Amino acid sequence: MKSRPRSLIISLVSLALLATACGTASPGLIRNEEQESGQQPLPLPQASTTPTETPLEGIWLSPSLPALLLNQIQGVVLNQSANANTAAMILAPVDESVPGLKLVRESTWVYALVAPFYEIRDGVTDEELQQIWLGREKGSLAGVKLVLEASTQAAFVLHWGAPSANTVQVRKADELLEATWNESDTWALIPFEAVQPKYKILKIDGLSPLDKPLNVERYPLVMRFGLYTDPQASQTSIEQENVLKTALPLTNRDESRMTILIMSGTTALTRATAFKIDLKGADYVISGVRDWFLAADLRHVSNEVSFDPNCPKADPNSASMRFCSQPSYIEVLKGLGINVVELTGNHENDYGPEAFAETVKTYQQLGWTTFGGGLTPEDARKPALVENNGNKIAFIGCNPVGPANAWVNDRRAGVARCDPEYYFSQIKALKEQGYVVVATFQHQEIYRYMYDEHYRADFRQAADSGADIVSGAQAHYPMGFEFRAQALIHYGMGNFLFDQMDYPVVGTRREFIDRHVIYNGRYINTELLTALLTDYSRPRPMEPEERTQFLSDLFDASGWELDGETHENN
């Protein structure tokens, strides 16, 4: 059996090697890095100008293959070939014109352009990214560098050509996060499976791998790897082909394994907000941000006020701090598609535990998940367990500050008072059971962008106990962030649907709506959506200038200086 010239494969590999030589690391250095990380160097084919009588056998693996794909086939590759010209099979980027070979399996690999969580910019165009790659960046992108693994560079060389050594650097996989956090204007290009919470995903042409659904055909950072086989291969190679086709994943990004969780801040459908609902309808209040909610799988609201048919008519001029909502206002929550309701608010029992109990029953009749409050102490404090797209998610919340008449006891319904021993042990147990844990507090209200060390302690202990996301529901003023290992602490999202327009500080109008992404049993990222309260009732998405200033203020309050100096990686 004669081998065939495979000039296209050779040229692609040559281009990848040229790019590596032009970059910051030589081919030899890349091989050394792979050996140091425990990964064997991938053999490179040698060009052949004339056919030989060498039997076709084994599989040749492209140096552009991502680590996860290689791991998937690690146990089934029987014979790895050092020469693409004599290999019975080739696993490499897809090109339908590879001569003499048949494409029998294809894997679609999605990549992400990432920056540190505190990056202000939200995205770039495909053209701008390519200009960075080629060292032709200009304007606000001048000085931006890309770091990436050797295999990722080898893959994108095939799209964009050889990169500039001034702007593109090969690093080990475990060095990329530190580089983005601590090296000024440094972004990383990573496969989707490497996404983690401390990264901010930058959109390309307005598209993100966190989108659900994602138009993969339009998203630029996609590679397709194919298993090619020779029709004249031996029976042994055919058997190996069948095993490999089963082992190769179709993609590294399966939306059927992805859960989007939207979480929002303080909701109190009362006073001026209630007046606007009466005047203009439920749809008016939510129309600015409704699409954010409806595009998610789990839609959270912290509704601090119970529904009561005896609730007085809404008074926009009232200064009362005793709150209730008309039962009809639940149409606001229905319009957002709410299906997770937090009940830790300190106004839940303002019109009595009976009104609160009926409100809880209404949520349950609608099939909504509730946590942080209930009809009995046991119901109030127990976690709510949800399964979505194969992901197990646990919600647990409590209120450590009261007032006392809001807390549940043996005689009345109410909110869960924080019991640290129970709360933190539950978080630990839930994490051990494989849940992604979302822990919330209705903590002390302050009108600043960040807590001092005293109030941070409870949030940090929740993260240290195993919570993946720790969130403050108490904040009328949006608050900053902290990471504890891979756990995100957001100390407060601010108001969501509450009428604080006239408070002397603009902070009560600024809002975070957190879009958390859970994938294949793991919390992987958070997108920060930002809104501004208008007309005492209606949040709308921030304009770009408003968002830039808001993020700058909150990241600065979080201790992430935005001056190009080294940033603390909590």
Question: For 417, which DSSP code?
Answer: B
pLDDT at site 83:
87
Top pLDDT among 45 and 272 is at 272
Query: How far, in Å, are 321, 397, 431, 518 from residue 392 at the CA level?
Result: 38, 17, 10, 9
Structure tokens at 247: 């082992």
Burial class (CB in 10 A: 0-12, 13-18, 19+), 374: buried
Widest CA span in the chain? 93
Q: Is the pLDDT of residue 559 over 60?
A: yes
Mean of pLDDT over the chain:
89
pLDDT at site 497:
98
Q: Are 102 and 229 in contact, with CB atoms under 8 Å apart? A: yes
- Which residue ranges make up each domain of the chain? 7-108+223-253, 110-210, 256-557
Q: Is the pLDDT of residue 5 over 70?
A: no
DSSP string, 240-306: HHHHHHHHS-SBS--GGGEEEEEE--EE---HHHHHHHHHH-HHHHHTTTHHHHHTSSEEEEEE-S-
Burial class (CB in 10 A: 0-12, 13-18, 19+), 124: buried
pLDDT at site 40:
37
pLDDT at site 137:
93
Question: For 425, which DSSP code?
Answer: H
Q: Where are the beta strands (DSSP E) in 117-264?
A: 123-124, 145-148, 168-170, 186-191, 199-204, 222-229, 258-263
273-320: pLDDT as tens digits: 999 999 999 999 999 999 999 999 999 999 999 999 999 999 998 888
Q: Which of 430, 484, 493 is nearest to 461 (CA)?
A: 484
Q: Which of 505, 455, 517, 516 is nearest to 480 (CA)?
A: 455
Dihedral of the CA atoms 376, 380, 383, 385 (nearest 10)? 70
Structure tokens at 132: 């960075």
pLDDT at site 54:
52
**CATH topology for the 256-557 domain:** Purple Acid Phosphatase; chain A, domain 2 (3.60.21)
pLDDT (average), residues 37-45: 36
Burial track 381-418 (b if 16+ CB lie within 10 A, e otherwise):
bbbbebeebebbbbbbbbbbeeeeebbbeeebbbbbbb
Structure tokens at 193: 């499976």
When mean pLDDT is compared across 91-95, 205-209, 526-530, the lowest value belongs to: 91-95
Distance of alpha carbon 49 from alpha carbon 176, whole angstroms = 40
Q: CATH number of the domain at 7-108+223-253, please?
A: 3.40.190
When mean pLDDT is compared across 14-28, 262-276, 345-359, the lowest value belongs to: 14-28
Class level of CATH domain 110-210: alpha beta
pTM: 0.91
Q: Are 329 and 274 in contact, with CB atoms under 8 Å apart? A: yes
R_g over Cα of the chain? 27
Residue 218: how many other CB atoms lie within 10 Å: 12
Half-sphere exposure of residue 94, counting CA atoms within 13 Å on the CB side?
A: 13
DSSP string, 477-520: S---EEEETTEEEE----EEE----SSSSGGGGEEEEEEEEEET
368-380: pLDDT as tens digits: 999 999 999 999 9
SS3 state of residue 475? coil
Cα 538 to its chain centre, rounded Å, is: 26
Structure tokens at 215: 């138009």
> Which parts of 161-234 fold into alpha helices (H)?
176-182
pLDDT (average), residues 407-423: 98
Structure tokens at 100: 């003499």
SS3 state of residue 130? helix
Which residue in this structure is represented by tokens 């992430």?
Answer: 560
Question: Is 256-557 in the same CATH topology as 7-108+223-253?
Answer: no
